[in-house]
Structure 1
């Protein structure tokens, strides 16, 4: 099984990433309702191509991870945060998510970060297991932070040093 190739997103990836994003939507990881037309642009002033790592298999984009500073505060400049991870259904179980996380850790280091953090919904057991396997630990829990499809769901804060 080939390894996914990982690279920084390009403006030309927007359409493919938007389709992937909509196709990967699930209440397992999304706090917003399912996307409906008209769809907003994938890239905008807060979501720039350089913020995304994309994974490709056989020349097709099959996953992405958004890696950004959690705030513009100078005192927070040593931290990077994963603010989105999606893998197409067809590519699940092929190491795409793991490859993206490992690439994000390396990219965060390259950008001079000392820590990497993320937030994951408490009921998203597959993602939590993957993050834990890659060295992330639970650093806090916001109990019943979201109401998703009639159920209260915890917001789990995870992080790791670089």
Structure 2
């Protein structure tokens, strides 16, 4: 499929797909305890998916709504075979469009901060910046060895 062909939709819970997709991207998802939490979260959180022509899930984003004005991308995973093909971009575009219709003002995401040099997370930060997110603050939320960068995208 080409980038223009992907379509993201709000979907039912897909924890089995999340588990399958996590295995395809160990550079980002190499901590078994975190992966178990993501799979568990995928049972209850608002779920957005992109599926291929055969209906197989190739990307998942979980969204949390903290307040009527603010929402958060809790987690995103895209099948390794679909990296760089627009799956993640389509997920963000569809979620942003939906949140704007709901009257949400701000979308945020947390990712590994730049003070921990990791080429994979440098790509992640670049992706979010390309999608219009700006870095707000790097904090010690996940421990000293795992700096958390909070990024936000204004929706209004």
**TM-score bin (small chain):** 0.7 to 0.9
How much is the aligned-residue C-alpha RMSD, in angstroms?
2.7
121, 126, 130: which one aligns with 2:127: 130
Please state how far the C-alpha of 1:161 moved relative to its aligned partner: 1.0
How far apart, in 1, do the equivalents of 2:6 and 2:62 lie?
A: 17
Please state how far the C-alpha of 1:9 moved relative to its aligned partner: 1.9
Q: 1:14 to 1:109 in 2, by over 3 A?
A: same
User: Paired residues, what number?
Assistant: 145
Please state how far the C-alpha of 1:94 moved relative to its aligned partner: 0.7
How far apart, in 2, do the equivalents of 1:25 and 1:110 lie?
A: 35
Residue in 1 that maps onto 2:147: 154
Structure with the largest fraction of helix: 2
How far apart, in 1, do the equivalents of 2:137 and 2:48 lie?
A: 26
Residue in 2 that maps onto 1:109: 100
Please state how far the C-alpha of 1:34 moved relative to its aligned partner: 2.2
Q: 1:9 to 1:17 in 2, by over 3 A?
A: farther
How far apart, in 2, do the equivalents of 1:95 and 1:52 lie?
A: 18
Residue in 1 that maps onto 2:57: 61
Please state how far the C-alpha of 1:33 moved relative to its aligned partner: 2.2
Please state how far the C-alpha of 1:22 moved relative to its aligned partner: 4.1
119, 136, 142: which one aligns with 1:139: 136
Does structure 2 conserve the Cα–Cα contact (< 8 Å) formed by 1:25 and 1:34? no
Residue in 2 that maps onto 1:99: 90
CA deviations over 1:58-102 (Å, ceiling 9, x no partner): 2211011111113xxxxx321010000100111111111111111
Could you state the TM-score of these two structures normalised by the residue count of structure 2? 0.78
Could you state the TM-score of these two structures normalised by the residue count of structure 1? 0.75
Please state how far the C-alpha of 1:25 moved relative to its aligned partner: 4.1
